[in-house]
Amino acid sequence: MPHPLFAGANHIALHSVDSTNNYAKNLLASQRVPEGTLITASEQTAGRGQAESRWHTEPGQNLTASFILYPTFLAADRQFFLSMAVSLAVRELCEEVINDDIRIKWPNDIYHNGRKLAGILIENTISGSQLSSSVVGIGLNVNQVDFDPALPNPASLRSGSGQQQDLRHITEKLSTYLEKYYLQLRNLHYNFLDKAYTVHLYRYNQTALYRRDGQEFRGEIMGVTKEGKLIIESNGRQLKFGLKEVEYL
């Protein structure tokens, strides 16, 4: 694949930081850095996931990264398409390395054989009805094989591929794939992103068990709305869920 033009071209590599997303946001508050600026850290002391969950990682073994983007072309009510683009980029990277089917667990966790390889946290700044800047945080398990037993289902590129991975090479590939899908977004290819995201959803078109408000039900994931709500068809009805409103069983 060709080298990216801007994603990762300006790379700030840190030894230790509380969170690469926090570092990126502080950077944005003081200056306008080039689009595609990448912040990585060997160690993250307070990594964050979706809905204030924590991201646990072993120092030096994994990829903790944040990209700074300026998707000013993107309407605020379509911001989930950025999440789709990033999820597809991380998914394709993982699929290339592991050479096996990789899925996106809504909204943007990356799964291999029902186990979590990566998580994504995107923090957008909105100006009027458009996005003005985005900090795209990606936590990808690369070479770690021993995980905290409290974590429900972790996996890594090494455990999936059976091979030790070169972190620098993985970082370069991530930049390439991120730019590829971000350019699809910049060209307003919403249908392409929506279809690609939908067909790679974890449990897509499979009947499975879910829970909402303490009640279990069976349904099939059909896709997402343009606002990013999950669509599950159950008993002939299409149900729509926001973040943390439905639990996979």
Which of the four pLDDT bands, split at 50, 70 and 90, describes residue 199? very high
Same domain, 160 and 238: no
Burial 158-179 (b: 16+ CB within 10 A, else e): bbbbeeebebeebbbbbbbbbb
Give the residue numbers spanning the domain of 95. Answer: 11-199
> Does residue 4 lie within any of the structural domains?
no
Same domain, 56 and 122: yes
How many domains does the structure of the chain reveal? 2
pLDDT at 207 over 50: yes
Question: Tens digit of pLDDT for each residue in 16-51?
Answer: 999 999 999 999 999 999 999 999 999 888 765 544
Domain at 78, CATH number: 3.30.930.10
> Does residue 84 lie within any of the structural domains?
yes
Same domain, 43 and 166: yes
Question: Tens digit of pLDDT for each residue in 117-151?
Answer: 999 999 999 999 999 999 999 999 999 998 888 88
> Does residue 15 lie within any of the structural domains?
yes
Domain at 214, CATH number: 2.30.30
Same domain, 136 and 244: no
Q: pTM to 2 decimals?
A: 0.93
Which of the four pLDDT bands, split at 50, 70 and 90, describes residue 5? confident
pLDDT at 58 over 80: no
Same domain, 226 and 151: no
What is the spatial distance between Cα 96 and Cα 184, in angstroms, rounded to a whole number? 20
Same domain, 219 and 186: no
Q: Residue 54: its pLDDT value, please?
A: 52
Question: Tens digit of pLDDT for each residue in 149-175?
Answer: 888 899 999 999 999 999 999 999 999
Same domain, 185 and 237: no
